[in-house]
Amino acid sequence: MSTHHQKVALITGASQGIGAGLVDAYRKLGYAVVATSRTIAPSDDPGILTVQGDIADPATAERVIAAGVERFGRIDTLVNNAGIFVAKPFTDYTLDDYAAVIGVNLSGFFRITQLAIEHMLAQGGGHVVSVTTSLVDNPDSRVPSVLASLTKGGLQSATKSLAIEYATRGIRVNAVSPGIIKTPMHPEETHQFLSGLHPVGGLGEVSDIADAVIYLENASFVTGEILHVDGGQNAGH
């Protein structure tokens, strides 16, 4: 049984951390969810379709979109949450580091967003949200991370560009720019140092990012916005 009136959110990088929090948040909002990551496990919830795949491979985007449309009939929101972060001094990055980060953060964004927007145009509207990083706007010498800026900065610029391209066609495009969030990506022993990177002194919670995405989901007059959820980093130090 498929009710094609129920809204559907597609979330990448959905198996843990922010992605898992976003799956829960959209289910609470009453959306069906297509959840993808390399290692995602099947869900007992009939309102969640999980699809395994490496988002860096364009074939994954094709499979995920096709599976979502087959199961739920539509795609209303795409959350580009998948991302990898490699912090190294610039000259220490290897070609493999470069390929891996570009693959997930940029190529992964590109194909699935193209396919999702095609469906949204046919439906008469939709919403794309990308998760970037506060380092794009506020580089920090304590966390050298050019590949994050190169890729997530690209997403941030693309967010504004797409928002304007589709502004008259019912598709909104926004981004959330997190500070450092308590997730499995950051071991406990690093938390004190990481907290010091935020003016408020402390790490964000997954719920802080999920709340920001859901705000944007419901904000019909907001498009092209980069919403900083970063403990004040964007304002200064």
Give the per-residue pLDDT at 153.
97
* Alpha-carbon gap, residue 125 to 116, rounded angstroms: 11
Provide the whole-model pTM: 0.96
* Alpha-carbon gap, residue 17 to 35, rounded angstroms: 13
CATH no., domain 8-228: 3.40.50.720
Residue boundaries of the structural domains of the chain: 8-228
- The 10s digit of each residue's pLDDT in 22-60 is 999 999 999 999 999 999 999 999 999 999 999 999 999
